[in-house]
């Protein structure tokens, strides 16, 4: 039989005498360590909770930059604007009922419902809306009329703020939908989203306009602000905005991506029947940026040739590149030295190097852009020879 004393340690007793000082110190140290551990855990948990609360507050604050309005709120905004115009109460009631019915029963877009309601009450809005429905050119002209130098500007700007901002949002949306970005931007650029009945539409269509015009900073600002309150905007807005952010965020100046986008913009303008100075400006911009890429490739090729020439003791193959490089200096006279250099330098490149340069320039572009670039530089090569 096993003695109980062998199964567990003997407890101190009066008979065994008092605890030694070393034992008392060790026990006290263990208790102190435990207490400190508990205190540290408590402090850590408190800090974690505080950080979580602060983070949550920051998120809520960021999401509060705009919010969608419900039908009742939009109706009150409409009534307030009509009241500022001096509309009689009976007519305000009728307009409010029509507005709410169009949204709730007919599932009409709020901006369309608002414009349809007020155009029969406000002559300047009726005039503006009617002018947009004739043709694409008339829509563009309507956008251009919202200009401080036109008579229509005063008619629209004299409207109550909420009505004015909402009408501008509607017109800007129509212009963007028809790819009239140049006309849309002045209309919608200064609209305060919180003053329009549809804040999400302001941010989305203005962001889309900036995106199409390669205004990266402005596009990211509006689209990211839209996505702050993703739950309050239509799914089509949030998904498209997310894609636009991902699309324009990596855009870099003078890159192949930028050149491709400028080509797309020129194509858009030509599709709209535009052949004005802006189109010529954009076309020249494409040529200048492509030329800049060619200069860079020529410089790289020259450095490679000089390096191989130094190693092999032969420098004859570098002569054409030296001629091309020398043309980079500013010349005198009426002829554009840059254009002369572009043509002569490209024509003097050996065929193998010219093909390699073409591949480097166009490898990341769509097929139709690549073909256009190759055709352009084939022409330069022919003229250079």
The two structure tokens encoding residue 71? 């039908």
The two structure tokens encoding residue 363? 């490898």
pLDDT score, position 103: 96
Taking the CB of residue 171, how many other CB atoms lie within 10 A of it? 25
Q: How far apart are CA 137 and CA 133, in angstroms?
A: 10
pLDDT score, position 60: 43
Query: What's the CA dihedral at 84, 87, 88, 92 to 10 degrees?
Result: -90
Per 3-state DSSP, the chain is made up of helix, strand and coil in percentages (nearest 5) of: 75, 0, 25
Phi, psi of 9 (to 5 degrees): -65, 150
The two structure tokens encoding residue 173? 């949306």
* Type and span of the H or E element at 245: helix 235-248
The two structure tokens encoding residue 222? 């509006």
Stretches in the chain below the pLDDT threshold 70: 1-64, 310-385
Q: How far apart are CA 53 and CA 45, in angstroms?
A: 12
Q: How far apart are CA 203 and CA 195, in angstroms?
A: 12
Q: How far apart are CA 38 and CA 40, in angstroms?
A: 5
Phi, psi of 69 (to 5 degrees): -100, 140
Conformation bin of residue 313: beta by default, left when phi > 0, alpha when psi is -120 to 50: left
Contact 180, 186 (CB under 8 A): no
For each of the domains in the chain, give its residue range(s) and CATH number, in order of start: 71-251 (1.25.40), 271-307+319-384 (no CATH)
pLDDT score, position 42: 59
CA 195 to chain centroid, in Å, comes to 22
Nearest to 205 by CA among 172, 235, 178: 172
Q: Quote the DSSP letter at residue 372.
A: H
pLDDT score, position 334: 44
Q: How far apart are CA 207 and CA 217, in angstroms?
A: 10
The alpha carbons of the chain give a radius of gyration, in whole angstroms, of 36
* pLDDT tens by residue, 172-216: 999 999 999 999 999 999 999 999 999 999 999 999 999 999 999
Contact 244, 205 (CB under 8 A): no
């Amino acid at each position: 039989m096993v003695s109980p004393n062998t199964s567990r340690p003997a407890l101190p007793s009066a008979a065994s005498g008092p605890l030694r000082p070393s034992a008392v110190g060790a026990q006290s140290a263990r208790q102190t360590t435990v207490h400190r551990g508990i205190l540290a855990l408590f402090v850590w948990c408190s800090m974690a909770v505080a950080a979580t609360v602060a983070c949550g507050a920051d998120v809520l604050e960021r999401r509060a930059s705009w919010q969608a309005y419900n039908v009742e709120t939009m109706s009150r905004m409409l009534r307030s604007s009509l009241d500022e115009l001096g509309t009689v109460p009976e007519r305000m009631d009728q307009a409010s009922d029509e507005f709410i019915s169009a949204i709730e029963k007919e599932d009409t877009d709020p901006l369309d419902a608002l414009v349809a309601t007020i155009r029969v009450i406000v002559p300047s809005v009726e005039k503006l809306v009617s002018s947009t429905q004739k043709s694409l050119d008339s829509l563009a002209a309507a956008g251009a009329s919202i200009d401080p130098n036109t008579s229509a500007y005063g008619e629209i700007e004299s409207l109550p703020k909420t009505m004015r901002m909402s009408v501008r949002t509607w017109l800007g949306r129509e212009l963007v939908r028809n790819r009239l970005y140049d006309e849309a931007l002045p209309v919608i650029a200064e609209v305060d989203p919180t003053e329009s009945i549809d804040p999400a539409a302001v941010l989305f269509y203005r962001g889309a306009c900036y995106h199409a015009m390669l205004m990266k900073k402005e596009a990211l600002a509006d689209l990211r602000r839209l996505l702050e309150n993703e739950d309050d905007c239509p799914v089509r807005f949030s998904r498209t905005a997310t894609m636009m952010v991902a699309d324009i965020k990596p855009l870099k100046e003078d890159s192949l991506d930028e050149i491709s986008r400028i080509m797309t913009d020129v194509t858009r303008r030509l599709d709209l029947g535009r052949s004005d100075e802006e189109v010529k400006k954009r076309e020249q911009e494409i040529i200048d940026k492509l030329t800049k890429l060619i200069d860079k490739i020529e410089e790289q090729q020259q450095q490679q040739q000089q390096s191989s020439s130094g190693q092999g003791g032969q420098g004859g193959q570098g002569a054409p590149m030296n001629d091309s490089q020398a043309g980079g200096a500013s010349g005198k006279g009426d002829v554009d030295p840059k254009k002369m250099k572009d043509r002569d330098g490209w024509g003097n490149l050996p065929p193998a190097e010219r093909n390699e340069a073409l591949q480097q320039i166009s490898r990341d572009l769509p097929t139709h852009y690549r073909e256009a670039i190759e055709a352009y530089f084939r022409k330069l090569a022919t003229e250079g020879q």
